[in-house]
Amino acid sequence: MKKIITLTMTIALLLVMTVSLAGCGGDESATADPVSLVDVTTEQGISLKLPSDLVKQDNGGYANMETGDSASFGVTEIAGTPLSSATEEDVLALYQSKHDDVVVTSFENGIQINGKEALVSQVNLTTPGGNAIILTLVMVTDDTNNYIVNFIYGKDKTDSALYKNLQACIDSITIAGTPDSTATSAQVGTSVKDDFSEYLYNNFGTVFEPEDRAIQEIYTEAALTADSKILAKALSDTLPAKNNALLEKLKAYTPQTTEVQEVHNLFIQAVELRKDAYAQLVEVMTQPATEAEVEAAFAVLDESDAKIEGFLTKAESMKKDLGV
């Protein structure tokens, strides 16, 4: 299932975290208003009807910036795991990793949408910003690619056009077959952008960087005391524990694209070098050591700092290139 929904995870989770919604309530069974629907064809080869108040965005999705209603799209090649193997537990696990109050309210697999095998699942959840939303995941396959549509609206948006016309939108979905090379290339680029944005703002910025900064502050504070015993204690107790905890989190995180993984690896290498540096520094500070041995220990710490600088430089360059 992981291979099937890798792109879905990137698109759906990022969109959930960036769309601002509030409130609660809502019943999907409200009467649809077909007059408000317009025909749309996406670059991924997905054709469907959408409410006319959803405006196309730079990322290829459609959104109403006032209500927060949105629809996003993706396509990914089938990598040996058929859509029919996806389960309700897979969908639940996907969203529980990032959100609170996750409840899968409906799940259907093996159904047909305009002659194509499909999966439709609806999920209630609360975003990290405290917004209660309803997300409907639709996946349609042509046995070569899985085509993905995500509909999102607030639980209190029972008067919105998307809420009223959701079933009509789902029923209208058709796929044109394998996307052309231009659409495929655009989708790959979007995937890297979304993956890096997820990494930068929801992992590095909120977890990795604050913990790394705390480690460096503890080291600096101990070093500024000019007391070798205080520094040695920090290097043997507090700092290794915090550094190892950060290293475990870094190694547990797996970016979805090779480009982001390469940048992430620089950070891992820096923290691993710092682990070695702390061990060597403790040794030269607690046992007789030559000047060369002391310099060698600090050289490892300098190498770690250089790796971090390299990581930050690369990340800043990617941020500018991808426009995130």
Contact 54, 164 (CB under 8 A): no
Domain 2-178 superfamily per CATH: Mog1/PsbP, alpha/beta/alpha sandwich (3.40.1000.10)
DSSP state of 205: I
Give the tens place of pLDDT for each residue, 131-185. 889 999 999 998 888 899 999 999 888 888 999 999 999 999 999 754 443 343 3
pLDDT at 9 over 80: no
Please report the DSSP string for 241-290 in residue order: HHHHHHHHHHHH---SSHHHHHHHHHHHHHHHHHHHHHHHHHHHHHS---
User: Tokens 């993956």 belong to which residue?
Assistant: 195
User: What integer pLDDT is reported at residue 28 of this predicted model?
Assistant: 39
User: What integer pLDDT is reported at residue 135 of this predicted model?
Assistant: 92
- Could you tell me the residue ranges of all domains in the chain? 2-178, 189-322
Contact 290, 280 (CB under 8 A): no
Euclidean distance between CA atoms 105 and 169, whole angstroms: 19
Backbone φ and ψ for 82, nearest 5 degrees, come out as -70, 155
pTM: 0.51
Q: Please classify residue 180 by burial: count the beta carbons closer than 10 Å to its beta carbon, then call 0-12 exposed, 13-18 middle and 19+ buried.
A: exposed
Backbone φ and ψ for 237, nearest 5 degrees, come out as -115, -80
80-84, 86-90, 201-205 — which is least confidently predicted?
80-84
Percentage with pLDDT > 90 across the chain: 38
Dihedral sign from CA coordinates of 100, 101, 107, 113: negative
Nearest CA-CA partner of 60 in 244, 183, 170, 211: 183
Euclidean distance between CA atoms 278 and 216, whole angstroms: 12
Q: What angle do CA 63, 64, 65 make, to 5 degrees?
A: 105
Give the tens place of pLDDT for each residue, 234-286. 999 999 999 999 999 999 988 888 889 999 999 999 999 999 999 998 888 88
pLDDT band, residue 25 (cuts 50/70/90): very low
Token pair listed for 258: 């090779």
Give the tens place of pLDDT for each residue, 273-323. 999 999 998 888 888 888 888 889 889 989 999 999 999 999 999 888 888
Percentage with pLDDT > 70 across the chain: 83
Give the tens place of pLDDT for each residue, 185-199. 334 344 788 889 889
Dihedral sign from CA coordinates of 127, 81, 177, 7: positive
Q: What is the amino acid identity at position 158?
A: T
| Strands across the sheet containing 100-113 | 55-56, 62-63, 70-77, 145-154, 132-141, 116-126, 100-113
Q: What is the amino acid identity at position 297?
A: A
pLDDT at 116 over 90: yes
Mean pLDDT, the chain, integer:
82
Q: Please classify residue 292 by burial: count the beta carbons closer than 10 Å to its beta carbon, then call 0-12 exposed, 13-18 middle and 19+ buried.
A: exposed
pLDDT band, residue 113 (cuts 50/70/90): very high
User: What integer pLDDT is reported at residue 79 of this predicted model?
Assistant: 66
Helices (H), 228-257: 228-236, 238-252
